[in-house]
Structure 1
């Protein structure tokens, strides 16, 4: 029992009367008031009659819940450095797809980085860290990429699986759909399944009407336009000859079987 700092002095007669619950033998009113004051001080320094006890198990659970709550708040506010934008980002803003190399980049930077690689027709996108060769798995980016970008990535991965000797694209620039030649049958004139225009499946160009594949492939790179093909067809119909030196077409109207080109090259005409 805790003791009071006040020195209590109680007359024996008064103390016995107080214990036995008998009337106090008070003869002096002032002395009785002082006794009551001492009794009040004595009771205030005692242990409470009905103390409140706490359940240790309940307290432990409260403390544990508080610790878990503090840890959760700490993980949410933890700052992680992004190696692309060079800024500190909170944990929910960090991309979680690099599980092998553990390099940290924010979601916004990974989204832009992957989109730029897909625009360059790069199918296998590696970790942005210059010294890392770990690839980014497409399924981990499905939720952060626009649908059209993710669709192009899937197409690029599909194209990467086809051998280069078997794939070519529609020669019309406004189409450029992917096509596959398995090599089982030699095909020349064919129709694009997308734009429905004719092309040469052997030369992989727009259809060169009136000119054989061998003739077309003997043409120079600057002689394969549509107007050049039309000129070749006209020269073939008119039986024009072409100077092998300056590549100018000449036509015989009269005279002997040979003529001299303006480049001083002699052309024999049958």
Structure 2
């Protein structure tokens, strides 16, 4: 940084040149202290350039890898929130919260790809998760779009015994349809038949039962 006076950083400056944009600015337009505890330099990038650097880092790096534009020391969560613009602060906070949520066994991402996720306390006993953002139904157990008409157990069977024909998605659709038809048949049998007390085989009900 090109200093106009010779007393920096021990006395207030009248102005200084930012090492990034090369514009001469007032001391109030620079960070008043190093961005991180690991920075071994006085701040030489102006606040606007620091703000831009943080925004750029968040677009190309993990939220936890945002760094000082001068020495690449990693910024703390608090530092990012202090120096970033509002949109970047919100995005950074959202990403940090999401990472924390993903450590929870009850967290699941929406299968639609909308980018939303949520805690599902119903667990495997209630596997259908409805996205609070887009309404997509997701299977908590398999982390895919909810397989309508097919239980999780039946879905497992379809995955373990795929049909040899191609394409796979078409075969799974056909298998799901056949599984649904089979279940419908079983339900119909339960409605019109009962077990014979003598041989235990299903026999058709009549009006006398």
The normalised TM-score by structure 1 is: 0.46
Q: Secondary structure of the equivalent of 2:98?
A: helix
- Aligned-residue Cα RMSD (Å) equals 3.7
Superposed, 1:92-241 pairs within 5 Å as: 92-96=28-32, 98=35, 100=37, 101=39, 102=41, 103-120=43-60, 122-124=62-64, 125-129=66-70, 132-138=72-78, 141-142=81-82, 144-145=84-85, 147-164=86-103, 166=105, 167-173=107-113, 175-181=114-120, 186-211=125-150, 212-215=154-157, 217-218=159-160, 223=168, 229-236=172-179
Using the TM superposition, give the Cα deviation of residue 203 of structure 1 relative to its aligned residue in structure 2, in angstroms: 1.0
The runs of at least 4 consecutive aligned structure 1 residues that moved more than 6 Å come to none
The normalised TM-score by structure 2 is: 0.57
Structure 1 residues without counterparts, runs of 5 or longer: 1-70, 240-270
Q: Is the CA contact 2:112–2:145 (under 8 Å) kept in the aligned structure 1?
A: yes
Name the CA distance, whole Å, in 2 between partners of 1:75 and 1:203: 61
| Inter-CA distance 207–201: structure 2 relative to 1 (3 Å threshold) | same
Answer 1 or 2: higher relative contact order, Cα 8 Å, separation at least 6.
2
Number of residue pairs aligned between Structure 1 and Structure 2: 159
Q: Which has the larger radius of gyration?
A: 1
Name the CA distance, whole Å, in 1 between partners of 2:91 and 2:30: 24
Structure 2 residues without counterparts, runs of 5 or longer: 1-9, 183-209
Q: Is the CA contact 1:127–1:136 (under 8 Å) kept in the aligned structure 2?
A: no
Using the TM superposition, give the Cα deviation of residue 108 of structure 1 relative to its aligned residue in structure 2, in angstroms: 2.8
Using the TM superposition, give the Cα deviation of residue 155 of structure 1 relative to its aligned residue in structure 2, in angstroms: 1.0
